[in-house]
Amino acid sequence: MATGGADAVELRGALLRLRRETGLAVVFGGLVEPGRAQVRISELNGTTTAALSALAVSSGNGLGGKAVALARPCAVTDYSSSRRISHEYDVAVAAEGLRSVLAVPVVVRRRVRGVLYGALRSAQPLGDRTLAAAVAAARDVEQSLAVRDEAYGLLTAAREPGAQGADGVARERLREAHSALRALAPRVMDPALRADLLSVCETLAASPGPARTTGSGQSPGAVRSPGSVQLPGSVRAAVQVRLTPRELDVLSCVAVGRTNAGAGERLGLRAETVKAYLRSAMRKLGAHTRLEAVVAARRAGLLP
């Protein structure tokens, strides 16, 4: 079961859960190769031979290829004798001793990105429970890939030349991107990608713009540390304040005009929970209103 890449990790985890939940003898799958209408089988669990490893399944061919072409689940009770599929891959399937097989496509934004298979070594119908579990596993992979696509899209947009410009329109786009990235980061399971998202958030927050100095006239860099801010006022009287990641998430939503309910919808939190985080952030910042809290965080370089 060895394939690199975060997408393959998601696929591998989904297949393991599928086998554990259903008792299927064999589970395997692969992703659509970039620029090609075929799936390369890369993840296998329960196999006893290497017959299926690295097999390239073309759209329309075999059970998996049919699932790719139709973008919907397909199943057969006896693979080798089924008249509902073509038989380009019978040798590999027979070598592994598979009879009853199902294939479920992973569809992200109407595009098939991969296929999950489950199989038995006996010719018996695969019940609705097994099919439902396979569809759920495919949906898990779909959601993970969709989140990763969104993350890379936001990263690309945030890194484009001029994305951090100081004019009003550019600043608003930057703030929207920052808010979206912070909301997305907790949903990203890949630790490297999540760290990249948060790193870009810090870069966006520290980008040049208005209200970037403290009340003492110092630059933000002189007083900022990760997750903390220096409040406006004299340097000697200033108080160091540490904000939690969730407090910053909420503030980033508030900064682009979202209500508590709107912030909760974006962050997956209840409105009451958002209100509690916001109240805590305001208290730490010494702010009496939402706007004062946002201004203080911007002066500290924690928000763009």
pLDDT at 292: 92
Average pLDDT over residues 32-44: 91
pLDDT at 9: 82
Q: Is 254 exposed, middle or buried (0-12, 13-18, 19+ CB in 10 A)?
A: buried
Please measure the distance between the N-terminal and C-terminal CA atoms of the chain and give it in whole angstroms: 43
Tell me how far apart the alpha carbons of residues 175 and 146 are, in angstroms, rounded to a whole number.
Answer: 22
- Domain ranges for the chain: 6-150, 166-299
Query: CATH assignment of 166-299?
Result: 1.10.10.10
Residue 115 scores a pLDDT above 90? yes
pLDDT band for position 233 (cuts 50, 70, 90):
very low
CATH topology identical between 6-150 and 166-299: no
pLDDT band for position 229 (cuts 50, 70, 90):
very low
Lowest mean pLDDT among 52-56, 62-66, 150-154, 248-252: 150-154
Please state the pTM of the whole predicted model: 0.65
Average pLDDT along the chain? 83
Tens of pLDDT along 129-185? 999 999 999 998 998 888 888 777 777 776 666 555 555 666 787 788 788 888 888
CATH of the structural domain 6-150, one choice from 3.30.70.360, 3.40.50.300, 3.10.310.10, 3.30.450.40: 3.30.450.40
